[in-house]
Amino acid sequence: MPPDFSRPLKNRDRLVFPLDLPDLESALKYVSLLKDEVGFFKVGLELFTALGPDFLKRLKDLAPERGIFLDLKLHDIPQTVGRAARAAARLEADILTVHAQGGEKMLQSARENAGKTLILGVTLLTSLNAEDMAEIAPELRSGARYPLFMARRALSCGLGGVVASPLELATFREELGKEAVIAVPGLRPLWARVKGDDQVRVASPAAALSAGATLLVVGRPIRDADDPVLAARKTVEELDEALLDPR
């Protein structure tokens, strides 16, 4: 069974590995390598489009103790999103993402149809910066105001939490309370350097954990390492050491 968010989590169980891979062979390789090293496998648009729902069933069989984080960022009319959420629940996805920008009716439809699947609202893509925000919502000139507005909307519609960049994390935790699940992408361990990085709002997993993150999404530093298993373990060790640091 995946981690129970109502109980304290081990740092390994907080770690989410995104299967941002083009084909079945590559995905199975990393599932085999990391099924004892992470808490969740995240399946995004690329892999889900390439392999379809059957891959989730296979993933469940291969790593039954790990959670499935279905990161589809749904954004459509309420009825369509509700039906998609119902389908995700039938596939036993533990987490499903939707865009908080979809409006209250869409968010409520997702929640009402999701069964036991936890719905997280995506507030703002981590690839966007302040200049992008000025184009999207010029009336919200502060970069933090728009994501926070979306996060509040998501929780007011009954969602279990949000996806947030490290830069909004501390504010989100204070505003949303301790029960909300906050998943944080765009994390780079202190030991890792990623060439050509397109994530502009990043932090270390330890910093995110200290600021109140529930789930820590670490992809390329693990995927592109010479030894992905060692990289995952180093990431967890970094988290453990941060908790022991008295500073």
Q: Which residues are catalytic?
A: 73
Write the CA distances from 134 to 124, 139, 150, 176, 211, integer angstroms.
13, 8, 16, 25, 26
Q: Give residues with Cβ within 8 angstroms of 92, minimum separation 6.
A: 56, 60, 68
* Angle at 41 (CA atoms; ends 37, 46), nearest 5 degrees: 140
The residues with which 123 forms a beta bridge, in sequence order, are none
SS3 124: coil
**Neighbour-count burial of 76, counting CB atoms closer than 10 A to its CB (0-12 exposed, 13-18 middle, 19+ buried):** middle
What is the DSSP-derived secondary structure letter of residue 203? B
Strands (E), 129-244: 161-163, 181-184, 215-217
What is the DSSP-derived secondary structure letter of residue 118? E
